[in-house]
Amino acid sequence: MNRELTCIICPLGCKINVQLEEGEVLAVSGNTCPRGKTYAITECTAPMRTLTTSVRCQNGRLLSVKTDRPIPKEKQLEAMEIINHLHPALPIAVGDVIMKDVFGADVIATKNIN
């Protein structure tokens, strides 16, 4: 079986062709870089996404956050449920961990709020 993918690693958006047999990746073509190959294999076996969203701080202001590494694609909405309950105290600097281990990733701040 062949699967056509659009690589999401960088803005080039390469069209990648993956040859699959019973869920096993046999060959990858069309990628311009090694990261594309890694993406294609993960995408066909256990797709992952970096989640970005925002949380309301205790002073009412919004803080933009992200998972510090990709989480399973199908867990994005569940992760949103968890993250939406966070109301961190200030001050917060870029990179501060807001919550540990949400589906294997830490939720970190992407903004400074004093």
Partner 1 sequence: MKDLVIIGGGPAGMSAALAAYEQGIRDILILERDSSLGGILQQCIHNGFGLHKFGEELTGPEYAWRYEEKVRALNIPCKLNTMVLDISDQKVITATNREDGIFQIQARAIILAMGCRERPRGALNIAGARPAGIFSAGCAQKLINVEGYLPGKNVVILGSGDIGLIMARRMMLEGAKVHAVCELMPYSGGLARNIQQCLHDFDIPLKLSHTVVEIHGRERLEGVTIAQVGKDRRPIAGTEEYIPCDTLLLSVGLIPENELSKSAGIALDPITGGAVVDQDRQTSCKGIFACGNVLHVHDLVDYVSDEAELAGKSAAAYLQGASAPACSIPLKTGNLVRYTVPQVITEKKSVTVYFRVADVRRKVQVQVWSNDRLLYSKKKASVAPGEMEALTLSAALLEDASELTICIKEDQA
Site residues (vs partner 1, CB under 8 A)? 5-11, 13, 15, 49-54, 56, 62, 64, 66, 73, 76-77, 80, 94, 110-112
How many whole angstroms separate alpha carbon 93 and alpha carbon 96? 6
* In the complex, minimum distance from the CB of residue 90 to partner 1, in angstroms, rounded to a whole number: 15
How many whole angstroms separate alpha carbon 73 and alpha carbon 62? 25
Residue with Cβ nearer partner 1 (22 or 81): 81
Residue with Cβ nearer partner 1 (22 or 58): 58
Nearest CA among 103, 113, 85 for reference residue 48? 103
* In the complex, minimum distance from the CB of residue 64 to partner 1, in angstroms, rounded to a whole number: 4
> Which alpha helices (DSSP H) does 2-112 contain, by range?
34-45, 76-83
Residue with Cβ nearer partner 1 (8 or 25): 8
Cβ atoms of 26 and 52 closer than 8 Å: no
Tokens of 12: 């080039």
Tokens of 22: 């019973």
Residue with Cβ nearer partner 1 (11 or 23): 11
* In the complex, minimum distance from the CB of residue 49 to partner 1, in angstroms, rounded to a whole number: 7
Tokens of 64: 């933009």
* In the complex, minimum distance from the CB of residue 15 to partner 1, in angstroms, rounded to a whole number: 8
